[in-house]
Structure 1
Amino acid sequence: MVHDDAYHWPPELLELLIELVPRLSRSKEGVLGFLRGAGVGEALLAAHRQQLAADKTAISKYKIVRTVLSQINEQGDTGLGVRRELLKRAIEFEDFSTLWPDDRLPAQGLQANVRSLVNVKDAFTRMNQAHDDERAARLAARSAEATRLARRHAKFVALRDRLAALFNEADPRKRGIAVEDVLNDVFKAEGILVRESFALRNEDGQVTEQIDGALEMDGAQYLVEIKWWGEPVEINAMSRHLVRVYGRSEVRALFISASGFTAPAIKESERALSQRVIVLGELRELVVLLEQEGDVANWLREKVRIAQIDRRPLAILGADF
């Protein structure tokens, strides 16, 4: 691993290199060649060449290396490529047999120390990078969640306004169609698969069944019936819906009423629980969910749980759970 400091070598690494690099060449000319091969510019080496040409004893290998390495270490980003290449060559040097006998073991020890120091610093760099990446991921997740919640809030506000407007609709038929659309969009907003109202016809094209809608959640299918009447839903309407459910294998029933249910209708649903999951809900529960921006999917899950375990098809949000 090559140290990747963007500005310079730290003092401890610089001192190790100043001790190591001179030992990797037998001669002063060899040291200059090692430095030139690593990319050190001739401008930094020329004065040393001239000095050696005039008097080979005027300067030592260690003095040359200390001067040149200190200079390239102060070049900041412009010397980054040279520092990387020089460090790479020092770490990857292998043929210690070419060195002076007295330099071989010290050079190997110094190289090991350089590698250890570089690896430690790279480990810290990786840990810091991992920390930064983790923090960035957390911030991104928070931002995504904030965006999701803002979009969900906007959807719920719009749905709440649409539902509130229906209380002023005098035409029962228009109101009934509109509330189906609103509730379908409520379920869609929570990621629940919805099939909107549809009709089944016989071979002659006559309508045999009119279905207000169907839902799919947690792998279960629900046949949906929605009523906005002036009076509670009575047993006949409930029975008709249950017949449609019984005609479909393993399908569950969800019946939502804006005006509640009569006692016989609730009783009929209780009897049906021995064969299918029957869930009754009141429109006011969904009004509360929209106002509180509650979880509609969990609302339905809890009603299913109570229906299955307690054999109660009608459990009211805020009163029973």
Structure 2
Amino acid sequence: MSLALQIIFDALLLGGLYAIGALGFALVWGVQNILNIAYAAMIMLGAYAAYWVWTLGVDPILAVPIVMAMMFVVGVLLQRFLFDYVILGPHSLSIALTYGVNLILIGLALYLFTAEYRSIALPDHLRGSIDLGGAHLTNARIATIAIAVVLTASVWWLMDRTALGAAIRATRMDLEAARLVGIRPRLIYNIVAGISGALAGAMGALLAVIHSVFPAMGDHQLIQILIVLVLGGLGSMVGPLIGALLLGLVSSVVTAIWGGTYAVLAGTVLVLLVLTFRPSGLMGRKFYEA
């Protein structure tokens, strides 16, 4: 019983983090048709920003909205001065550009911060823990799950219940029709890039609370995000959430039984199975598959 509860809790933690990252990545991919490899570096920048804000005396949890605001600006700047030029180009062009940006940002992080692992010293209220049915739940991880749930619900509300969300969905579905009803695609692209950057920053900031911070930390997270999107599929807000929870559950089960070394292998096998039997993903739409 205790092992099952621990697995469920770990799955919620991983699923929540992956869901935040997957939603941010999927927004740019779905709306602008850009595979933003630099998203890995943006997660890393979010983690370093959280570490820097913490060194100024700010509580690690309170640092999350500050980091999100900072990364919103970074996302808009990258969109305005780089990504705008590859929106209508082939995937190979956007991949090459964003991969180059990713390498530059990681190189800058190595130059400024070195390869040294850095950790946030948690305050007393995050250092405690509770035992639930034999499962050990730390306060820091409980706070991380709560923030992940709030952010995921907020993105769903924005996309499904607001005029801005309708404008984003319209731009995603038919660019010319969106222009005809007065929507400004350039503004929508900037907002989407900003939201994506903010979510990458949130994921990085939350990772900084429970893990160490280092320049290449975003690369592994990006792989997990791509697995989540393949599992869940594009074209649905629910898809990335289901993919994130499924990957989190499988990773937690495999880690508990065989160790973390096999968790990545299990995710790869899961992706191969989904691609074989449902190439568009569990909740994907054929429009996006095409």
The alignment's TM-score, normalised by the length of structure 1, stands at 0.20
**Larger-Rg structure:** 1
- The structure whose residues are more often strand, as a share, is 1
- The structure whose residues are more often helix, as a share, is 2
The alignment's TM-score, normalised by the length of structure 2, stands at 0.22
* Structure with higher RCO (Cα < 8 A, 6+ apart): 2
